[in-house]
Chain A
Amino acid sequence: MINRASRLASLAFGAIVVIAGCASPGATTGPTTGGQGSQPPASTGPSTPQVPSGNVSLSGAGATFPALLYQVWIEKFGEAHSNVTIDYQAIGSGGGIKAITQQTVDFGASDAAMKDEEIAALPAGTKILHVPTALGAVVVIFNLAGVDKTVIKNLNLDGDTIAGIFLGRITAWNDPAIAALNADVAGNLPATPIKVIHRSDGSGTTNAFTTYLATVSSEWKAVGAGKEVNWPTGDGAPGNDGVSGGVKTADGRIGYVELQYAVVSGLASAAIKNANGKFVSGSSAGVTAAAEGAVAAFPDDFRAAPIINGPGDDTYPIAAYTYLLVYQDQTDATKGQALTAYLYWALTDGQSEEKAIGYAPLPAPIQEKALEELHQITTGGSAIWPM
């Protein structure tokens, strides 16, 4: 944690220094600085999308989970292209979908792919592209003291057991279903009642978690999967912080949060049995493995990209993409160019920023698919970045 914080601090400090350094030469040399940076010069032709030369400002809004990543990206991209200003507001995935639907922003962001009804609500004749930017994992956190009063740190769970707990069928920590998966600590599992803490607000995290449960448990199908569900048991708490706070306040509680929040809260998280029968703890590597494992069965549209409970020994089963949402046809050519260049940068140079701040980068085959998707962005009927 300290390591991450100091990295972040040095990163932010670095950004400030660079911005300060840029300010005076920018004023004297004008917009020509825009063409320089990490991108190769224009002579390479259409191999990379080009940043327009004039001043452009882009605005985006949406998911809170990738907000930190997007902030870092915007700073780094701004260093290379000072004529492009990007503003991102973390208002939640649903808010991001609403904003892009009402065309109040240039791009949206969401942790859950748009549903069919949401696609139907778009202005007539428009199409949204889902551009994946990073992967997230949802981990099951718990707060449990054993019979011997020591804190239990390691616990194995499988899909059926997690579903049983969140359905309210498994109500005590020494339930035979939990004991069977944890032979080594079975004698230490207390009779403490299980108290479930779930999200009270609609959330992409809930969507990923319930999609997993609906995939692995036939019992859970009655509840369904989505950003907000009718929970059979437990209390709601707002936000990832609310859930980790709620789990932390009392013994015997269980909840689910984004991987990063579990790390920050210091709570133990369960190792979950994947499709190959191996128990895997939540980690960036486990999530990237999940995305790699799913490449073979990849559809044309990222909305339907499989990643939950994928194959592979190292695959962590509860993972999700987070997406940027952009209109396929850009009405403003300059903005369209800048946006395409930004997306290209995010999918290439931007990916190397992810691990340092706790996100899982896209594996190479998915990155390629996402880059191919950028060729589909058009303005006035012709591709901004032709094949």
Chain B
Amino acid sequence: MTTATATAAARFGQAASRVPDLVFRSGSGILAWVTVAILGLLAALLVANSGEVLGKFGITFLTGTTWDPIAGIYGALPFIVGTIASSVIAIVLATPIGLLTAIFLAELAPRRVAIPLTFTIELLAAIPSVVFGLWGVFVLGPFLSKTVEAWIVGTLGWIPIFAGPPFGVGLFTAGVILTLMILPTIVAISRDVITAVPDSQREAMLALGATRWEMITKAVLPYARSGIIGAVILGLGRALGETMAVTMVIGNRPQIPQSIFDSSQTIASQIATTFNEASIGLQTSALIGLGLVLLVITMTLNVIARLLVWRVAGPQGTS
């Protein structure tokens, strides 16, 4: 009798759920496609509205170094270089710090230390970027120019890319601010992929008589490598698109920087600061063209990151 009621209930449940199920499935399906359609429309709109500038300058829009709204000449190269250079500085600084922090949290720290520490680091991601920017202008920039930057210029200043004078505003300060902003991303994802490394890997290594250092460098990190690269690329994606904090400390100067202490300008910052007052026509079109370039750069990076993360997530899912 219990079996009969159970079956009846199951049948009844199935019959009753058919309509809501259908509504739910088609509704959520439509919404999912709407999201894709919005992305498609966004890309189409960027292409259509940047047509004027791309038609006029063609490939020289990407290679030109002059941005002169008065003369009507638009070359995006200084912004592309500024965007990539500030993000590369951030990645060079954030990768070792983030990776070592992740290893400490996943492998070395006791639970009662690791949990509050992880929470605090992830809290960094919740700080609004304008707050980072203000702090950069009034505290970090002046501090860096007197200490770290002055020291680098003093010791490595003979190498052109480290030549001074440091003003506390420019690529390097922007890179340091971006480092702080992307650290939570790199730490959180790296910690997750390191934790996901099967214990059998560690046990096998330790059974061979390896030290903890050898176990981490020879067994854990190689296994988690793709995931860590994915984490770094996601961090890079965030750095490329960051606007507010960067615009406040980078100097907003569209030039090809010769040194890491030079003022520069990024794509996102240029769009944000000048779009409001841009005149209708070629200048607006040029700014939308910059947006398209940024979309292509970040999309490419995101695709690479996805592929790498899938590569590492695959075997874990099946084990």
User: Interface on A for B, CB 8 Å cutoff?
Assistant: 91-95, 97-98, 101, 115, 117-118, 121, 193, 195, 200-203, 223-231, 234-238, 242, 245-246, 249-250
Contact = CB atoms under 8 A, between A and B. Distances in A.
Contact of B70 (A201, A223, A246): A223
Interface string B52-80: 00000000000000111111000000000
B154 interface: no
A230 B252 contact: no
Contact of B280 (A117, A242, A245): A117
A97 B279 CA distance: 9
A242 B269 CA distance: 14
B169 interface: yes
Given A231-B253, A234-B253, A94 B168 contact: no
Given A94-B279, A95-B276, A249-B142, A230 B71 contact: yes
Given A117-B281, A230-B66, A231-B253, A91 B276 contact: yes
B277 A95 contact: yes
A237 B252 contact: yes
A117 B279 contact: yes
B291 interface: no
Interface residues of B, number: 32
B274 A200 contact: yes
Which applies to chain A's interface (DSSP): helix, strand, loop or mixed? Answer: loop
Interface of B: 66-71, 137-138, 141-142, 165, 167-169, 247-248, 251-254, 263, 265, 269, 273-274, 276-281, 283
B94 to A, nearest CB: 25
Given A230-B68, A249-B137, A201 B167 contact: no
Nearest to A95: B276
Contacts of A235: 167, 169, 251-253, 263
Nearest to B280: A121
A18 to B, nearest CB: 34
Contacts of A91: 276
Nearest to B142: A249
- Which of B66, B71, B252, B263 has the largest number of chain A CB atoms within 10 A? B252
Contacts of B274: 200-202, 228
Nearest to A207: B277
B273 A201 contact: yes
Contact of A228 (B66, B142, B269, B277): B277
A236 B277 contact: no
A118 B284 CA distance: 12
Given A200-B247, A228-B70, A236-B265, 4 more contacts: A97-B279, A201-B274, A230-B254, A236-B253
21 contacts: A94-B278, A117-B279, A118-B280, A200-B247, A200-B252, A200-B269, A201-B273, A201-B274, A202-B276, A203-B277, A224-B71, A227-B69, A228-B278, A229-B68, A229-B69, A230-B67, A230-B69, A238-B273, A242-B248, A249-B137, A249-B142
A225 B273 contact: no
B247 A202 contact: no
A230 B274 CA distance: 13
B84 to A, nearest CB: 19
B69 A94 contact: no
Contacts of A228: 69-70, 274, 277-278, 283
